[in-house]
A and B are shown apart, each in its own frame.
Chain A
Amino acid sequence: MMRLPPFRYLAPKNALEVAGILNGEGPDAMIVAGGTDLYPNMKRRHQMPKTLVSLRHVDDLRGVQMNGGVTIGPNETLRSLERNVDLKTRLPALWTAVQSISTPLLRNMGTIGGNICLDTRCNYYNQNFEWRRAINFCMKCEGDTCWVAPSSSVCWAVNSSDTVPVLIALGATVTLVSVDGARTIPIHELFGTDGIEYLTKRKDEVLTRIDIPDQGEAKSVYRKVRRRGAFDFPVAAVAARLTLQGNTVEDVSLVLNAVGPTPVRCEEAEGVLRGNALTDERIAEAAQAAYRPAKPLDNTDYVSMWRKKMIRVEVKRALEGMRG
């Protein structure tokens, strides 16, 4: 069987201790929450932290508060969010995303913070050491070439988080804490530009809270394309948030994920819709506008051109579902 490489395991009790350890340990340390993604990656030797800083006993990063908006502690397990009836009522798109992640067993361990910070995925990268040696490794780990786009100077590993596109669409903010203090940013600013530098979070920062503003009259929806009804990461995903005034789009937010290294905000498609009636024609136009920036490559399940086509279908279906 595949076994974990040796590592040091630290178990602090609160967020400040976490930040202190990260500051002291430097870039060889990593936070582990549920470990459902990190441990398999370590077994395959493509993530090799020397020190793991566990959030298992960090209680001040747990909890869900609902006032006007919703505040979620990133250490909250996906399972507990899935079981949160109020969350299901208030933020159905987020709940849909959460309960679609992997399997019940892994949701018992996995956390929402872990899903937000999920390492980008690629089937040239999520392979064991011997396999990666056969392709002479890749840009994201120990190699030089991005094998899915050999002429590319950047890594095309895919952001495969289910919760991220929804949180972006809902206008969430996240708070990051280090020994230098706290900063709060819109969640879309958390994401970098390519599959390697996929987070703007510094190595010494810990994600401490997720704030989702009051959604007012807005409706939201999450649609996920994947092969099977369980286990699978998305290979094309659409999150949409829509405020309608009658049949007129007052406000709209449309976000794609799993079609590139970063979540894609569809500003052109949003522009097509904003201030206009949500007619079939507008929906088709918006779906086409959303389709263009999606750049799926052949590094996930399913044929990449089909995934791109599904963006058009799923945007259309998302918008149609929120009409009337």
Chain B
Amino acid sequence: MSSNGSSSQETGLSPEAQGLRDQLKEGYNQIGKSPVKVDGMAKCTGATVFADDIELPRMLYCKLHRSHVAHARIVSIDTSAAEAMPGVVAVLTGDSMPETFGILPVSQDEHALCIDRVRFVGDPVAAVAAVDEDTAFEAMNKIVVEYEPLDPVFEPAKAINNEVEPLHGYGDDGNVHKRISMQFGDVDGALEEADLVLEDTMFFEGNTHLPMEQHAAVAMREPDGRVTLWSSTQTPHYVHRAVSKVLGMPPSRVRVIACPNGGGFGGKSDPFNHEIVVAKFALMTNRPVKITLTREEVFYCHRGRHPVLMNIKTGFRKDGRMTGMHFQSLLDGGAYGSYGVASTYYTGALQTVTYDIPTYRFDGVRTFTNKPPCGPKRGHGTPQPRFGVEVQLDKAAHALGLDPAQMRLDTLQPSNSVTANWLRIGSMGLGPCIEKVVEGSDWKNKHGKLPYGKGVGIACSSYICGAGLPIYWNAMPHSGVTVQLDRGGGVAVFCGETEIGQGSDTVLAMCVAEVLGVELTDIRLTVADTHTTPVDLGSYSSRVTLMVGHAAFQAAERARELLAKAAAKKLEVPSVRLRFAENRVFDVQDPERGMEFADAVKLAEAAYGTIAVAGWYTPPPSPGKYRGAGVGPSPAYSYSSAVIQVDVDPETGLVDIEKIWVAHDVGQCINEMLVIGQVEGSVYMGLGEAVMEEMAYRGNRFGVHKIPSLLEYKSPTTKEMPPVETYIIEDPDPNGPFGAKEVGQGPLLPIMPAVANAIFDAVGVRVDEVPITPDKVLKALGAKDKRCGPRSFPDLKITDTMRVKTEAEGGDGTAPRPPKKKKPEKGKGEEVKAS
């Protein structure tokens, strides 16, 4: 943790900072305990105001008219019948908002309403604002759009051939949005050295977030002409930028407030067309305007898991150690860029952080297709490759006659190391994770030993704790917190972070309460409001606990320092001896000698003026300096391992998940109950991906989403949730606040491969794709090679592979300059950093 203020000669810390370090060493006030969530009571009583709960006087209701064709040029839009309807106040079409937007600076490819082209069934073309929802609905259906059809493309393997007119006028090559190839070390040589080389083609079907709360947004024109937008978004800062850009208003005239989200999972991380549309309507009509999406529309917003076809070629030594890996991925991006460039890099980034892979090559391609856009879903771009890698490891263990758990333990990437692709690993608790689930599940007496039909499988994973770089290039902090103290002992905390159910409000409050020794009830939070709170980049990439935690710690420490100085003087005790706990400030050597926290605030305010301080956090630089090195680096990596026991019915192919043992290396729990909740929630979501969920489209029927409803898009119920045994591994990371790492995403990753591996143990077949549905299990049981999965992988048409020397080869993290090209590169370098 960074420090400030004058430093003492001995420790490099001020006496006040040293006093805090000593206080934390003696035991935590809050950290690691399980106080009730600060927003828990409001959630339970229904008092929480979600975006759709906002009702304002004279409010209008907005509906979007969406494309009912997959790919077409817009010839004309006739809104006259809608405009003529009584109760309709305003109608909008795309020409009123020509400015593009998008989450990544390199993919500014969306319009608030389509102007000349629609790219999927559900793309919004026009909007209506009316006095009530029924009128808006009726008017929306009276809008007539004339289309000139264009050939659609639904399959990436076809999109890559560029046989139809490209969806966009940018990207690497026609419908190839992004093509990447990079190599670290001599992979070909390493594969030749190997005792066993496995090559597998696998497929991970796309799926969606399915938050309980459908997206909603309300906008209002303020009397002074500013616009305020309330939205169910995970990223108010990015929405602020997009709304300001498209409406052509200075950011200071736009206010975005993220309401608590009823679940996000990555699905509310992009700025959305409906948010911009209601803001525009509010300015036009001078009346508040609300939109609440239907469940179908949430499926069209999507930005969920990319379908990924993978080809993985890996060399193994007899003892299971890997010599090298060549990983190829083909992503089905859907109709827009979204986070897709980052998603593509992520399908190749984190393979190296769990096991030692000394040489590594990654080729990745993302294509545009005429379907709702894919983006980040819990695990962003990494569950797909993790499935492939973990299933292939299981195959290797089987081929080499090794125990898959022991083989993993024997090949771990060491802590405090740098991977082949230049990711710096700090703490690394995967070993203890594996040991816990092996012991808890009685793995050694089960694997390979259960009767036919029953089996156990193991898989592991890792995830980032926040991206090392922001989404748009800037040198500013990723997270800021201000703390302001009341004379009465209250603590006001301001931060741009967004509560999406994961508990970020509670983590923020606990970090401040820990340092100041106050109760959570003394803390008032103001969050996720671009007018009043310092920027936090948003609730994505598992960054909030780490980055907000650091910023909160620093802000609270700065407040504590002022209080400690003032109190030390009054109590005539060196400030290094002061402790802050139980709403008191006291001498650790004589606890009777002290004062109420509120009295310390009064003394400090008298001495130093209003107590209002800020803290902030910027991640450390990454050792990787090559083009594309921006995706993957993180201040710390979490680790997870799971053992899953299944019962497979060989007659039906149905897989019954009997029990799950999961261990997660979280560094240090901030709130243990929330950690367990996130682990169980991840397991639950992972199970849905493993056996049920799929974004299915009818490519032969105009590209409609097959099942855009909560009833027919199958996701598990409580009835499908097996008992889960959760083990928390605490190995504090030097880069985490109090040593904490992420828990919101990582524990999802091992679930899908562990199910696949357990099915192999149960009935001896490989299903090399998810979801693993019963028809696929039956197909594998009936197949000669006892396998169900993709049979071929298309040519990704890689022409140039960037070569980066590994640390072992004496590299420095840079790539040699490529030979001079005839024409200058498109764009201005790699602007995409991470997400």
A245 at the interface (CB under 8 A from B): no
CA distance A128 to B293 in the complex (A): 13
Q: Which residues of B contact A309 (CB under 8 A)?
A: 778
A310 B652 Cβ-Cβ under 8 A: yes
CA of A3 to CA of B134, assembled, Å: 7
A9 within 8 Å of B (CB atoms): no
- Do B702 and A228 have beta carbons less than 8 Å apart? no
Q: Restricting to B705-725, which residues have a CB under 8 Å from any CB of A?
A: 705-709, 711-712, 714, 716-720
Q: Are B714 and A130 in contact (CB under 8 A)?
A: no
A229 touches B720 (CB 8 A): yes
Decide if B773 is an interface residue (CB 8 Å cutoff).
yes
Q: Is the CB of B68 within 8 A of A134?
A: yes
Looking at chain A, what size class is its interface with the partner chain? 20 to 34
User: A227 near B714 (CB under 8 angstroms)?
Assistant: yes
Contacts of A136 in B (CB 8 A): 702
B-facing residues in A275-324 (Cβ within 8 Å): 301-303, 305-306, 309-310, 313
Chain B: minimal CB distance from A319 (Å): 14
A7 lies within 8 A of chain B by Cβ: no
Q: Which residues of A contact B704 (CB under 8 A)?
A: 131, 134-135
Partner of A303, one of B652, B712, B775: B775
Interface string of B637-673 (1 = CB under 8 A from A): 0000000000000011100000000000000000000
| Nearest-CB residue, chain B, relative to A150 | B701
Q: What residues on A are CB-neighbors of B214 within 8 Å?
A: 1
Q: Shortest Cβ distance from B137 into chain A, in angstroms?
A: 7
Alpha-carbon gap, A305 to B779, bound state (A): 11
Residues 29-45 of chain A: 1 if any B CB is under 8 Å from the residue's CB, otherwise 0?
A: 00000000000000000
Q: Tell me whether A147 is interfacial, beta carbon within 8 Å.
A: yes
Verify A230–B706 contact, CB threshold 8 A: no
Interface residues of A in 78-130 (CB under 8 A from B): 123-124, 126-130
Closest to B65 in A: A130
What separation, in Å, do the CA atoms of A126 and B774 have in the docked complex? 25
Closest to B133 in A: A3
Judging by beta carbons under 8 Å apart, are A135 and B702 in contact? Answer: yes
The reply to whether A1 and B292 form a contact with Cβ atoms under 8 Å apart is yes
Residue ID in chain A nearest B714 by CB atoms: A227
Query: Could you say which residues of chain B place their CB within 8 Å of the CB of A310?
Result: 652
A305 touches B775 (CB 8 A): yes
**B357 at the A/B interface (Cβ < 8 Å)?**
no
Q: Which residues of A contact B717 (CB under 8 A)?
A: 228-231
Whether a CB of chain A sits under 8 angstroms from the CB of B66 is yes
Which of A1, A134, A301 contacts B133, CB < 8 Å? A1
Does A202 have its Cβ within 8 Å of any Cβ on chain B?
no
Closest residue of chain A to B706, judged by CB? Answer: A123
Task: Please give, as numbers and ranges, the residues of chain A lying within 8 Å of B774 by CB-CB distance.
Answer: 302, 306
| B692 CB–A CB distance under 8 Å | yes
For the complex formed, measure the closest distance between the CB of B145 and the CB atoms of chain A, giving whole angstroms.
11
User: Complex Cα distance A232/B702, Å?
Assistant: 27
- Asked if A228 and B720 sit within 8 Å, CB to CB, the answer is yes
Within 8 A of A (CB), among B58-88: 66, 68-69
Task: Tell me if A129 and B141 are in contact (CB < 8 A).
Answer: yes
Contact with A along B280-309 (1 / 0, CB 8 A): 000000000000101010000000000000
| Pairwise interchain contact B653-A306, C-beta atoms closer than 8 A | yes
Bound-state CA distance A44–B595 (Å) is: 65
Residue on A nearest B707 in the bound complex, by CB: A123
B interface majority secondary structure: loop
A129 to chain B: which residues have CB within 8 Å? 141
Q: Are A228 and B773 in contact (CB under 8 A)?
A: no
Provide the residues of chain B in CB contact with A57, threshold 8 Å.
Answer: none
Give CA–CA (A127, B706) in the complex, Å. Answer: 9
Query: Nearest chain-A residue to B716 (Cβ)?
Result: A228
For residue A227, which residues in chain B have a CB less than 8 angstroms away from its CB?
A: 692, 714
Say how far B92's CB is from chain A's closest CB, in angstroms: 18
Contact assessment for A130 and B66 in the assembled complex, using a CB-CB cutoff below 8 Å: yes
* Chain A residue with Cβ nearest B67: A134
Which of B711, B720, B773 has its CB near the most chain A CB atoms (within 10 A)?
Answer: B711
CB of B121 within 8 A of chain A? yes
Among B296, B702, B714, B719, point to the contact of A301 (Cβ < 8 A): B714
Inter-chain CA distance A289–B705, complex, in Å, is 36
Q: Determine whether the beta carbon of A228 is less than 8 Å from that of B719.
A: yes
B68 touches A130 (CB 8 A): yes
Q: Which of A6, A231, A302 has the most CB of B within 10 A?
A: A231
Is A13 interfacial (CB 8 A cutoff)?
Answer: no
Q: How far is the CA of A147 from the CA of B133 in the complex (A)?
A: 31
In the bound assembly, the distance between CA atoms of A136 and B701 in angstroms comes to: 10
Partner of A135, one of B701, B709, B714, B778: B701
Interface residues of B in 772-802 (CB under 8 A from A): 773-775, 778
- 1/0 per residue A213-243: CB within 8 Å of B? 0000000000000011111100000000000
State whether the Cβ of A183 lies closer than 8 Å to any Cβ in chain B.
no
Interchain CB contact under 8 A, A1 and B294: yes
Contacts of B121 in A (CB 8 A): 131, 134
A313 touches B652 (CB 8 A): yes
Q: Closest chain B residue to A299 by CB distance?
A: B706
Bound-state Cα–Cα, A244 to B294, Å? 53
Q: State the CA gap A303–B779 with chains docked (Å).
A: 12
Using Cβ atoms and an 8 Å threshold, which residues of chain A touch B137?
A: 3
Interface centre among A129, A134, A136 (most CB of B within 10 A): A134
Q: Which residues of chain B from 120 to 136 have any CB-CB distance to chain A below 8 Å in the complex?
A: 121, 133-134
Q: Which residues of A contact B708 (CB under 8 A)?
A: 127, 131
User: Which one of A2, A6, A124, A303 lies within 8 Å of B773 (CB-CB)?
Assistant: A303
In the complex, residue of chain B having the shortest beta-carbon distance to the beta carbon of A134? B68
Chain A residues within 8 Å of B652, by CB = 310, 313
Bound: A6/B133 CA distance, A: 13
Task: Judge whether A123 and B712 touch: CB under 8 Å.
Answer: yes
CB within 8 A of B701: which of A147, A232, A305? Answer: A147
CB within 8 Å for A231 and B711 given contacts A2-B294, A303-B773, A305-B775: yes
Inside 8 A of A306's CB, which chain B residues have their CB? Answer: 653, 773-775, 778
Kindly state whether residue A133 has any CB partner on chain B within 8 Å: yes
| Chain A residues positioned under 8 Å from B720 (CB to CB) | 228-229
* Chain B: minimal CB distance from A223 (Å): 11
Tell me the nearest residue of chain B to A225, going by C-beta. B652
Give which listed residue, A123, A147, A229, contacts B719 with CB less than 8 A. A229
Nearest-Cβ distance from residue A306 to partner chain B, whole angstroms = 4
Q: How far is the CA of A135 from the CA of B708 in the complex (A)?
A: 14
Residues on B with beta carbons closer than 8 Å to the beta carbon of A6: 134
Q: Please report the C-alpha to C-alpha distance between residue A279 and residue B717 in the assembled complex, in whole angstroms.
A: 38
A301:B68 contact, CB within 8 angstroms: no
Chain B residue numbers with a CB within 8 Å of A126 are 709, 712
Across-interface contacts of A1 in B (CB, < 8 A) = 133, 214, 292, 294
Chain B positions within 8 Å of A133 at CB level: 68
Q: Which residues of A contact B692 (CB under 8 A)?
A: 227-228
Determine the distance from Cα of A227 to Cα of B710 in the docked complex, in whole angstroms.
13
State the Cβ distance, B517 to closest chain A Cβ, in Å: 46
Residue of A nearest to B68 (CB): A134
Q: Mark B507-534, 1 if CB is under 8 A from A, else 0.
A: 0000000000000000000000000000
The 10 tightest CB contacts between A and B, nearest first, are A229-B719, A306-B775, A134-B68, A303-B775, A227-B714, A133-B68, A134-B121, A230-B717, A134-B704, A228-B717
Q: List 25 A-B contacts (CB under 8 A).
A: A3-B134, A123-B707, A124-B701, A126-B709, A127-B708, A127-B709, A130-B66, A130-B296, A131-B296, A133-B68, A134-B69, A134-B702, A135-B704, A136-B702, A147-B701, A227-B714, A228-B692, A228-B719, A231-B717, A302-B774, A303-B773, A303-B775, A305-B775, A309-B778, A313-B652
With A230-B718, A301-B707, A306-B653 given, name 10 new contacts (CB 8 A).
A3-B137, A123-B707, A134-B702, A134-B704, A228-B692, A228-B717, A229-B719, A303-B773, A309-B778, A310-B652
Question: What is the interface of chain A, defined by CB distance below 8 A to chain B?
Answer: 1-3, 6, 123-124, 126-131, 133-136, 147, 227-232, 301-303, 305-306, 309-310, 313
